[in-house]
Structure 1
Amino acid sequence: MAAVPVACTQDRAPAPPTLAESRVRAAWLFLAPLVVLMVLVAGWPLCRTLWFSLTDADLKDLGAARFVGLDNYTGEFGVLRDPDWWRAVGNTLLFAGVSVAIETLLGLVVALVLDADFPGRSVVRAAVLVPWAIPTVVSAKMWAWMLNDQFGVINHVLMTTHLISQPLAWVADPSLALGSVIAVDVWKATPFMALLILAALQMLPTDCYEAARVDGIHPVTVFVRVTLPLIRPALMVAVIFRALDALRVFDLVYVLTSNSRDTMSMSIYARQQLVDFQQVGLGSAAATVLFGTVALCTALAITLGRVRLEGAAG
């Protein structure tokens, strides 16, 4: 009886990783230390803050904290039922919206001016960055002296030029305080926006502008149809960065107006609950809501920017 041949199968060797897979692995390898550091520096404090927001923790004795669920959020004395919190939310959103809008427009104008070729351009670029280079607390204290209603230089100049008839309490008057804070923030943060936009302008190709100049297209049309779409990604990044800073504003407002309800931001409200009132649970709840607000605004900004870019590309 003839033997029946048996087919021998050999295990195939695994396919070598593709170039894309190798790059992904290398990227994760390089990012691993940063991810671990972020978890230790940001992740642990965030989780601890979230836990404290669910307890009745007191600054005097954190070990005696008891779990109270969502009482610090929606309870009778919770953050979301406190009129001062919603006032702080309104102040923060108004501050962020107005200041970022003005800074973006002024930063775009300054960047366009600095992008032009004129004598002394390097000196002007360095001088424009001075307000941004000054520490926030120092600049806020400097402006607090200048805006003082009794001996401030702002009132002196305005009264000398007969623009006002009597000194104004710029940071004490409820109708002027928030506007004064916004003006100081615009003075300080506009160079940051200009720097990011200028970097984008420096990367633009010159052949498009040469073709437009040869065709005799108006410079305004070139800016709207060519420059603005090309710098839109960098502009979106600059707006997101500034919006995040504006939503988390603390030092500028606190130095200029302290705990004033007329200018209190969400960060100052959380600090007041934590330090002044020593209510760690309520302060942690306010900080958690602030974190969620910032994260939500960031996600919306990135999503809307991506949709606009994809729509423009399509």
Structure 2
Amino acid sequence: MATRQPTLAQTSAAQNPGGAVDATQPARPRRERGTRVRRRRVRAAWLFLTPMLIGLALVAGWPLARTFWFSVTDASLSSLEGANFIGFENYLVHDNGWYGILADPLWWQSVWNTLYFALVSVSLEAVLGVIVALVLNAHFRGRTLVRAAMLIPWAIPTVVSAKIWAWMLNDQFGIINHLLMTLGLIDAPLSWTADASLSMWAVIMVDVWKATPFVALLVLAALQMLPSDCYEAAKVDGIHPLRVFFRVTLPLITPALLVAVIFRALDALRVFDVIYVLTSNAASTMTMSIYARQQLVEFQDVGYGSAASTLLFMIIALVTVVYLYLGRRQLGGGS
């Protein structure tokens, strides 16, 4: 007759005569194994990230540290090696009056221009990008061709597109003024890039035209991943499409929209090329990057220009941290 093997419960009961099974005994090795696996994964992650971090330190960290150093010296473009340490005099110093970047009205004007440009352009790009993505997500003939054509503004190099728009906005031979006068909307040609009251809106229009396809592309990718069952249920229940958009679609695409907005905000805060090509060094559209370039190249004051670049870096870092914090709180439900 075959002998019957004891079961796991009988073995545990034999080991615990009182009848109480110690459930904590097998859990401790499992936690230890999980901790070892987690440590191995962390070590492997750092091993793979180390080459990238070294390259990033060489490509970005060293120039950034050098810029910080130049910002506290009197370095000029003709004598970088003979720079002397002067502390924070490039930022702010009192010598029978306040001097330095923080006392320069043109610097604060460039800060305001940059923040205004970033806020208006990124807001318009976010709204128009969502609208374009919703249109391209619909089913119609030629949708693939329209999607490809939408990316053309984003594919054109910024300097090239800015120069094309500079010709189109020219007050003498530009096609924009010609079309507006033909339609009877204006009586005389407008100096879009020379008039202080119009130049900022001109560069915002050009930036929105170029960057909206980028936002639309990211939002369209998010729309393609949305489940269809909730829309079918809303259609059966007869819910209005606008309510479905604000209650269902918008919350689901918010993570992708936040990514698009943060990328565009970073580009807008350090904008240089499109504004410099259209309006050069005009005070009405001067941004922080153009201000730093003017000090570095035209005035050949490396210390002063490096201080402007350092302040630009700090402002962008501060705005990015605040935006990511607010976005994380929104996605996390305020926790």
TM-score range, shorter chain: over 0.9
Q: Structure 1 residue 150: deviation in Å? A: 0.4
- Unaligned runs of 5+ residues in structure 2 are 1-31
Per-residue CA deviations over 1:228-255 (Å, capped at 9, x if unaligned) read: 1111111111110000000000000000
Q: Structure 1 residue 205: deviation in Å? A: 1.2
Q: Which amino acid aligns with 1:87?
A: Q
Give the match for residue 23 of structure 1. Answer: 41
Give the match for residue 122 of structure 1. Answer: 144
Q: Tell me whether 1:33 sits opposite 2:55 in the alignment.
A: no
CA distance in 2, matches of 1:241, 1:298: 10
Q: Structure 1 residue 16: deviation in Å? A: 8.3
Q: Which amino acid aligns with 1:196?
A: L
CA distance in 2, matches of 1:124, 1:19: 49
Give the match for residue 4 of structure 2. Answer: none
TM-score, length of structure 1 as denominator length? 0.93
Give the match for residue 84 of structure 2. Answer: 66
- Unaligned runs of 5+ residues in structure 1 are 1-13
Per-residue CA deviations over 1:57-100 (Å, capped at 9, x if unaligned) read: 01110111110111111124311110110000010011000000
> Which of 139, 144, 165 is the matching residue for 2:187?
165
Per-residue CA deviations over 1:221-276 (Å, capped at 9, x if unaligned) read: 11111111111111111110000000000000000000111100000000000000
Give the match for residue 307 of structure 2. Answer: 285
Q: Structure 1 residue 22: deviation in Å? A: 2.4
- Report 1:42-61 matches (<5 A): 42-61=60-79
CA distance in 2, matches of 1:117, 1:26: 45
Q: Structure 1 residue 18: deviation in Å? A: 3.0
Secondary structure at the residue paired with 1:311? coil
CA distance in 2, matches of 1:186, 1:96: 11
Identity over aligned pairs, percent: 66
Give the match for residue 105 of structure 2. Answer: 83
Secondary structure at the residue paired with 2:239? coil
Q: Structure 1 residue 30: deviation in Å? A: 1.4
Q: How many residues are aligned here?
A: 300
Q: Which amino acid aligns with 2:84?
A: R
> Which of 267, 272, 283 is the matching residue for 1:250?
272
TM-score, length of structure 2 as denominator length? 0.87
CA distance in 2, matches of 1:15, 1:210: 46
- Report 1:124-273 matches (<5 A): 124-273=146-295
CA distance in 1, matches of 2:226, 2:75: 54
Give the match for residue 19 of structure 2. Answer: none
CA distance in 2, matches of 1:278, 1:176: 31
Per-residue CA deviations over 1:125-173 (Å, capped at 9, x if unaligned) read: 0001100100000000000000000010111111111111111100000
CA distance in 2, matches of 1:236, 1:46: 27
Q: Which amino acid aligns with 1:21?
A: R
Q: Using a 3 Å threshold, how does the CA distance of structure 1 residues 82 and 161 change in structure 2: closer, same or farther?
A: same
Select the structure of larger CA radius of gyration: 2
Q: Which amino acid aligns with 1:272?
A: Q
CA distance in 2, matches of 1:120, 1:18: 55
CA distance in 1, matches of 2:174, 2:196: 18
Q: Which amino acid aligns with 1:195?
A: L
Q: Using a 3 Å threshold, how does the CA distance of structure 1 residues 15 and 110 change in structure 2: closer, same or farther?
A: closer
CA distance in 2, matches of 1:28, 1:209: 43
Secondary structure at the residue paired with 2:86? coil
Secondary structure at the residue paired with 2:189? coil
| Cα-Cα RMSD | 1.3
Q: Which amino acid aligns with 1:276?
A: E
Give the match for residue 305 of structure 1. Answer: 327
Per-residue CA deviations over 1:186-232 (Å, capped at 9, x if unaligned) read: 00000011001111111111111112112221111111111111111
CA distance in 2, matches of 1:33, 1:200: 32
CA distance in 2, matches of 1:112, 1:27: 38
Q: Structure 1 residue 23: deviation in Å? A: 2.2
CA distance in 2, matches of 1:49, 1:189: 29
CA distance in 2, matches of 1:46, 1:166: 48
Task: Return 278-287 or 153-162, whichever deviates more.
Answer: 153-162
CA distance in 2, matches of 1:267, 1:277: 14
Q: Which amino acid aligns with 2:179?
A: V
Secondary structure at the residue paired with 2:290? helix
Q: Structure 1 residue 21: deviation in Å? A: 2.5
